[in-house]
Amino acid sequence: MSEIVLQNLIGKRVYGQDGAVIGRIEEVVAEPSGKDLLVKEYHLGTFALLERLSSGEIGRALLRFFGATKGEGLAVPWDQLDLSSRDRLRIRCSVDELRPPRPVGAGGILTFTRSRLSRTSDAA
C-alpha cells in the first residue's frame, strides 16, 4: 500500500486530460480501516474550500450570494486521481464524469485540510 502525506496534497492544482487546470484540492475525504485511513475522494474548487472553512449550507448560500455557482466544485473519486507525479496531479477520467462534492455528514468519515483533521459525528 502506498503512503502519501495528505497535507502536501491540499492546495495542489489538478489538471484535466486536456491539460487545463480544473481546480485545487481543498479537502480529502477518508474512512478509517483498522489502523489505516482509506481515501474515498478528493474535493476540488470553491465549494470544497467553503466546506472546510465554514458550515455547509450557510457558507454555500453566501458563496451563491457573491456569484459562485455549484459547478465550481468537483468530487474526484480516489481511483480517478493520478498521483504518480506529485508536481502535476491529473484526473484519469473526463471532467464530465465528475460530480459536485456532497457535504460530508456520514458518521465515521474523516476530512483532511492543511491545518486540521476532523471526524464527523455519528449523532445528528
Give per-residue pLDDT as tens, 100-115.
Answer: 887 665 444 555 555 4
Do the Cβ atoms of 99 and 45 come closer than 8 Å? no
pTM score of the predicted model? 0.72
Q: Which fold has domain 6-119?
A: SH3 type barrels. (2.30.30)
* Per-residue pLDDT reduced to its tens digit, 61-93: 766 676 665 556 899 999 999 999 888 999 999
**Greater confidence, 20 or 7?**
20
For position 116, what pLDDT does the model report?
47
Share the mean pLDDT of the chain: 76
Cα–Cα nearest to 109, from 11, 33, 55: 33
Q: Which bin fits 45, alpha (ψ -120 to 50), beta or left (φ > 0)?
A: left
